[in-house]
Protein backbone atom coordinates (compact mmCIF):
# COMPACT_ATOMS: atom_id res chain seq x y z
CA UNK A 1 0.00 0.00 0.00
CA UNK A 2 2.86 2.38 0.81
CA UNK A 3 4.33 1.73 -2.61
CA UNK A 4 0.95 2.46 -4.21
CA UNK A 5 0.63 5.75 -2.31
CA UNK A 6 4.17 6.76 -3.25
CA UNK A 7 3.48 6.06 -6.92
CA UNK A 8 0.16 7.93 -6.75
CA UNK A 9 1.93 10.96 -5.29
CA UNK A 10 4.56 10.76 -8.03
CA UNK A 11 1.84 10.53 -10.67
CA UNK A 12 0.06 13.64 -9.39
CA UNK A 13 3.36 15.48 -8.98
CA UNK A 14 4.12 14.72 -12.60
CA UNK A 15 1.24 16.95 -13.66
CA UNK A 16 2.36 20.32 -15.01
CA UNK A 17 2.65 23.07 -12.41
CA UNK A 18 2.08 26.75 -12.97
CA UNK A 19 4.66 29.34 -11.98
CA UNK A 20 2.42 30.44 -9.10
CA UNK A 21 2.07 26.86 -7.91
CA UNK A 22 5.87 26.58 -7.92
CA UNK A 23 6.02 29.52 -5.54
CA UNK A 24 7.11 32.23 -7.99
CA UNK A 25 5.03 35.40 -7.72
CA UNK A 26 5.19 38.52 -9.87
CA UNK A 27 2.76 41.39 -10.41
CA UNK A 28 3.37 41.21 -14.16
CA UNK A 29 2.76 38.45 -16.66
CA UNK A 30 4.17 40.44 -19.59
CA UNK A 31 7.00 38.73 -21.43
CA UNK A 32 10.31 40.49 -20.77
CA UNK A 33 8.99 42.07 -17.57
CA UNK A 34 7.78 39.10 -15.54
CA UNK A 35 10.43 37.10 -13.72
CA UNK A 36 8.05 34.14 -13.29
CA UNK A 37 6.22 33.74 -16.53
CA UNK A 38 8.14 32.59 -19.56
CA UNK A 39 6.89 32.52 -23.10
CA UNK A 40 5.38 29.28 -24.39
CA UNK A 41 4.79 27.56 -21.03
CA UNK A 42 1.30 26.60 -22.13
CA UNK A 43 -0.39 24.28 -19.68
CA UNK A 44 -2.01 21.28 -21.41
CA UNK A 45 -4.03 20.46 -18.28
CA UNK A 46 -3.69 17.38 -16.11
CA UNK A 47 -2.54 14.53 -18.37
CA UNK A 48 -4.17 11.89 -16.20
CA UNK A 49 -6.21 8.95 -17.41
CA UNK A 50 -8.43 6.27 -15.93
CA UNK A 51 -9.10 3.04 -17.80
CA UNK A 52 -11.29 0.08 -17.03
CA UNK A 53 -10.42 -3.20 -18.72
CA UNK A 54 -12.29 -6.47 -18.73
CA UNK A 55 -9.87 -9.31 -19.26
CA UNK A 56 -9.15 -12.98 -19.24
CA UNK A 57 -5.92 -14.18 -17.76
CA UNK A 58 -4.09 -17.40 -17.15
CA UNK A 59 -1.69 -17.52 -14.24
CA UNK A 60 0.28 -20.28 -12.57
CA UNK A 61 -0.35 -20.08 -8.82
CA UNK A 62 1.79 -23.16 -8.24
CA UNK A 63 1.87 -24.95 -4.90
CA UNK A 64 0.18 -23.57 -1.81
CA UNK A 65 1.70 -24.29 1.58
CA UNK A 66 1.08 -21.45 3.97
CA UNK A 67 -0.39 -20.68 7.38
CA UNK A 68 -2.74 -17.77 7.90
CA UNK A 69 -4.96 -17.17 10.92
CA UNK A 70 -4.00 -20.56 12.37
CA UNK A 71 -5.18 -22.34 9.24
CA UNK A 72 -2.74 -24.35 7.23
CA UNK A 73 -3.48 -24.13 3.51
CA UNK A 74 -1.99 -26.95 1.46
CA UNK A 75 -2.66 -27.77 -2.15
CA UNK A 76 -1.60 -27.73 -5.75
CA UNK A 77 -3.31 -24.89 -7.58
CA UNK A 78 -1.30 -24.93 -10.79
CA UNK A 79 -2.49 -22.89 -13.74
CA UNK A 80 -5.82 -21.15 -13.36
CA UNK A 81 -7.87 -19.07 -15.76
CA UNK A 82 -9.49 -15.99 -14.34
CA UNK A 83 -11.75 -13.27 -15.68
CA UNK A 84 -11.99 -9.87 -14.07
CA UNK A 85 -11.73 -6.11 -14.23
CA UNK A 86 -8.59 -4.02 -14.18
CA UNK A 87 -8.59 -0.35 -13.16
CA UNK A 88 -5.63 1.55 -14.56
CA UNK A 89 -4.69 5.07 -13.45
CA UNK A 90 -1.79 6.76 -15.17
CA UNK A 91 -0.16 10.09 -15.94
CA UNK A 92 1.70 11.19 -19.03
CA UNK A 93 5.28 12.26 -18.36
CA UNK A 94 5.74 13.33 -21.96
CA UNK A 95 4.01 12.83 -25.29
CA UNK A 96 5.35 9.29 -25.48
CA UNK A 97 5.89 8.10 -21.89
CA UNK A 98 3.44 7.40 -19.08
CA UNK A 99 3.50 5.85 -15.59
CA UNK A 100 0.71 4.62 -13.37
CA UNK A 101 -0.94 2.12 -11.10
CA UNK A 102 -3.31 -0.75 -11.65
CA UNK A 103 -5.64 -2.63 -9.39
CA UNK A 104 -7.38 -5.78 -10.50
CA UNK A 105 -9.93 -8.20 -9.15
CA UNK A 106 -10.44 -11.47 -10.96
CA UNK A 107 -12.47 -14.56 -10.30
CA UNK A 108 -11.80 -18.07 -11.41
CA UNK A 109 -14.34 -20.84 -11.80
CA UNK A 110 -11.83 -23.59 -12.35
CA UNK A 111 -9.63 -23.35 -9.26
CA UNK A 112 -8.98 -26.74 -7.69
CA UNK A 113 -9.81 -27.34 -4.03
CA UNK A 114 -7.17 -26.62 -1.41
CA UNK A 115 -6.79 -28.68 1.76
CA UNK A 116 -7.33 -26.63 4.91
CA UNK A 117 -5.79 -27.96 8.11
CA UNK A 118 -6.54 -26.39 11.44
CA UNK A 119 -4.03 -27.85 13.95
CA UNK A 120 -5.87 -26.49 16.97
CA UNK A 121 -9.15 -28.12 16.07
CA UNK A 122 -7.48 -31.17 14.67
CA UNK A 123 -9.71 -31.28 11.65
CA UNK A 124 -9.14 -30.89 7.93
CA UNK A 125 -11.41 -29.73 5.14
CA UNK A 126 -11.19 -28.53 1.57
CA UNK A 127 -12.49 -25.49 -0.28
CA UNK A 128 -11.96 -23.59 -3.51
CA UNK A 129 -9.98 -20.41 -3.79
CA UNK A 130 -12.56 -18.02 -5.16
CA UNK A 131 -10.68 -14.96 -6.32
CA UNK A 132 -7.32 -13.77 -7.54
CA UNK A 133 -6.27 -10.16 -6.88
CA UNK A 134 -3.56 -8.31 -8.79
CA UNK A 135 -1.88 -5.03 -7.82
CA UNK A 136 0.88 -3.34 -9.71
CA UNK A 137 2.53 -0.39 -11.30
CA UNK A 138 3.12 0.32 -14.95
CA UNK A 139 5.41 2.31 -17.19
CA UNK A 140 4.77 2.56 -20.90
CA UNK A 141 5.52 4.22 -24.20
CA UNK A 142 3.10 5.06 -26.99
CA UNK A 143 2.81 6.54 -30.44
CA UNK A 144 -0.18 7.84 -32.35
CA UNK A 145 -1.16 7.25 -35.95
CA UNK A 146 -4.18 9.42 -36.53
CA UNK A 147 -6.93 8.29 -34.17
CA UNK A 148 -5.09 5.04 -33.43
CA UNK A 149 -2.66 4.88 -30.54
CA UNK A 150 -0.24 1.99 -30.16
CA UNK A 151 1.57 1.32 -26.91
CA UNK A 152 3.87 -1.01 -25.05
CA UNK A 153 4.21 -1.20 -21.29
CA UNK A 154 5.91 -3.07 -18.49
CA UNK A 155 4.07 -3.78 -15.29
CA UNK A 156 5.48 -5.40 -12.14
CA UNK A 157 2.54 -7.00 -10.36
CA UNK A 158 1.72 -8.96 -7.25
CA UNK A 159 -0.80 -11.76 -7.79
CA UNK A 160 -2.60 -12.76 -4.61
CA UNK A 161 -4.90 -15.78 -4.38
CA UNK A 162 -7.60 -15.62 -1.74
CA UNK A 163 -8.81 -16.45 0.84
CA UNK A 164 -6.27 -15.08 3.31
CA UNK A 165 -3.57 -14.54 0.71
CA UNK A 166 -3.01 -18.24 0.48
CA UNK A 167 -0.70 -17.79 -2.47
CA UNK A 168 1.28 -14.79 -3.72
CA UNK A 169 3.18 -14.63 -6.99
CA UNK A 170 5.30 -11.82 -8.37
CA UNK A 171 5.02 -11.12 -12.10
CA UNK A 172 6.50 -8.77 -14.63
CA UNK A 173 3.94 -8.29 -17.35
CA UNK A 174 4.73 -6.91 -20.78
CA UNK A 175 1.69 -5.64 -22.65
CA UNK A 176 0.99 -4.35 -26.11
CA UNK A 177 -2.02 -2.13 -26.60
CA UNK A 178 -4.03 -0.57 -29.39
CA UNK A 179 -6.48 2.20 -28.52
CA UNK A 180 -8.78 4.30 -30.64
CA UNK A 181 -9.71 7.85 -29.67
CA UNK A 182 -13.50 8.03 -29.93
CA UNK A 183 -13.38 11.65 -28.78
CA UNK A 184 -10.57 13.83 -27.47
CA UNK A 185 -11.08 12.37 -23.96
CA UNK A 186 -12.47 8.85 -24.50
CA UNK A 187 -10.70 5.76 -25.84
CA UNK A 188 -11.53 2.13 -26.36
CA UNK A 189 -8.77 -0.39 -26.72
CA UNK A 190 -7.41 -3.90 -26.56
CA UNK A 191 -4.44 -5.25 -24.64
CA UNK A 192 -2.38 -8.39 -24.98
CA UNK A 193 0.02 -9.24 -22.17
CA UNK A 194 2.53 -11.91 -21.26
CA UNK A 195 4.45 -12.50 -18.06
CA UNK A 196 8.15 -12.04 -18.76
CA UNK A 197 9.11 -14.24 -15.78
CA UNK A 198 6.68 -17.07 -16.61
CA UNK A 199 5.86 -16.63 -20.30
CA UNK A 200 2.94 -19.06 -20.08
CA UNK A 201 0.92 -16.48 -18.14
CA UNK A 202 -1.09 -14.41 -20.60
CA UNK A 203 -3.67 -11.65 -20.43
CA UNK A 204 -6.16 -10.55 -23.05
CA UNK A 205 -8.32 -7.52 -22.33
CA UNK A 206 -10.73 -4.97 -23.74
CA UNK A 207 -11.25 -1.61 -22.12
CA UNK A 208 -12.53 1.93 -22.13
CA UNK A 209 -10.57 4.96 -20.94
CA UNK A 210 -11.36 8.51 -19.92
CA UNK A 211 -8.66 11.17 -20.11
CA UNK A 212 -8.37 14.49 -18.31
CA UNK A 213 -6.31 16.19 -21.03
CA UNK A 214 -7.21 16.09 -24.71
CA UNK A 215 -5.41 13.12 -26.30
CA UNK A 216 -3.34 12.86 -23.08
CA UNK A 217 -1.41 15.89 -24.30
CA UNK A 218 0.18 13.67 -26.92
CA UNK A 219 -1.14 15.43 -30.01
Partner 1 sequence: MAILAGCIYHPGSFEDPVGTSFPGTRATVGCLDVAVAAAKDDRATGPVIEYSFGNRCDHRVVVDLRGVRAVGRDATGQTRELRLFDPDAEVKPAELDALVAASEQLEYLDRDGAALLSVCVDIGGVESDTPRREQWICVAS
Residue ranges in contact with partner 1 by CB under 8 A: 27-33, 38-40, 42-46, 184-185, 210-215, 217, 219
Q: Which is nearer to partner 1, 24 or 197 (CB)?
A: 24
- Output the smallest distance, CB 117 to partner 1, in A: 51
Q: Which is nearer to partner 1, 35 or 79 (CB)?
A: 35
Q: Which is nearer to partner 1, 29 or 83 (CB)?
A: 29
- Output the smallest distance, CB 15 to partner 1, in A: 11
Q: Give first-to-last CA distance, the chain, whole Å.
A: 34
DSSP-assigned letters across all residues of 153-207 = EEEEEEEEETTTT-EEEEEEEEEEEEEEESSSSEEEEEEEEEESSSTT-EEEEEE
Q: Which is nearer to partner 1, 42 or 122 (CB)?
A: 42
For residues 218 and 95, give the distance between their C-alpha atoms in angstroms, rounded to a whole number. Answer: 4
- Output the smallest distance, CB 87 to partner 1, in A: 17
- Output the smallest distance, CB 211 to partner 1, in A: 7
- Output the smallest distance, CB 100 to partner 1, in A: 17
**How many CB atoms lie under 10 A from the CB of residue 1?**
6
For residues 16 and 92, give the distance between their C-alpha atoms in angstroms, rounded to a whole number. Answer: 10
Q: Which helix (H) or strand (E) holds 3?
A: helix 2-13
Q: Which is nearer to partner 1, 44 or 163 (CB)?
A: 44
For residues 177 and 191, give the distance between their C-alpha atoms in angstroms, rounded to a whole number. Answer: 4
Amino acid sequence: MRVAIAIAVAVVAAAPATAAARGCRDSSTTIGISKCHHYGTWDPGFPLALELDLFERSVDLGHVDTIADSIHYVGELGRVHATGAMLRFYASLSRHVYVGLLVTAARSADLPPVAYENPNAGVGFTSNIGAVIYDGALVGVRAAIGRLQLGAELSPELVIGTPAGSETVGELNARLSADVWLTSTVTIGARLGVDVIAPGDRTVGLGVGVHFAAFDGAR
